[in-house]
Amino acid sequence: VAASQQAGSVAGATQAPDSLVHTADQVPGADVRCLLLDLRSVASVQAFAEQFGRLGLPLSCLVCNAGINSDSQDRKRQLTEDGFDELFQANFLGHFLLVKLLVKQLREGAPSRVFQVSSVAHRSAPAALDWEACRERREPFRSLYGASKLAQIHFARELHARLAADGVASHAYNPGGVRSDIWRNSGGLMRLAATALMQSPDAAAAGLEAAILAPELQTQIKSAAQSLRTAEGPRLETLQ
């Protein structure tokens, strides 16, 4: 989701326009637009960035939330048309390219924020990422989900180091377990656990909304991990 403070504009990068209909219902009078984007395709990311650029809007907030898990990945094909692991490209490489192509608009929208929605699963990845693994088919199959989330955190830190002086703050956000549609292709036991133990998408969104609107996160990152809570939202962890 990309938001501009100019005239209350919201542009959604999505394959599910229903979410933008919901936004329009919740914020009457907002200028809500849907631009289709497939993060598993370099061409699609480039086309989206060009479309957004033609809108002529500064960019106040960019939330990199899209992703798939290993149960949703095509384990036979594994690689995209661009030659990258499907999951790794959807979760990290696509977002990396998207942010890179929108840096001009982020600077124009300063003070602006970029949120990488990560996961505690980053702890399952080796500290030294194997960048070659994302270009190879793996037999037997081995998921790169944890690696993709660790890469997001590294990216959030480096992006802040490079753009903070221009008024662009970069954050990594861990929403906690969410019973979202990401589990649709998982086994019955996993889906049952998600339903019983994980928070609703609305509760997770409330925590992210609190982070987006928090004044202390709009201009700078704290040097240490910081926690915020809302009445119905989860913990927010901000990483330098």
3-state SS, residue 11: strand
Catalytic hit among 145, 155, 173, 183: 145
Q: How many other C-beta atoms are found inside a 10 Å radius of the C-beta of residue 177?
A: 15
The Cα 63–Cα 53 span in angstroms is 17
**Residue 63 burial class via C-beta count within 10 angstroms: exposed 0-12, middle 13-18, buried 19 and up:** buried
Residue in the structure block whose two tokens are 């959807």: 90
The Cα 183–Cα 45 span in angstroms is 25
The Cα 141–Cα 99 span in angstroms is 29
Residues 6+ positions from 94 with CB-CB distance below 8 Å: 38, 39, 40, 41, 42, 45, 66
Q: Is 176 left (phi over 0), alpha (psi -120 to 50) or beta?
A: left
Helix residue spans in the chain (DSSP H): 18-26, 42-54, 86-88, 94-101, 103-108, 145-163, 188-197, 201-213
The Cα 34–Cα 20 span in angstroms is 7
Is 145 catalytic? The answer is yes
3-state SS, residue 135: helix
- Active site (catalytic) residues: 145
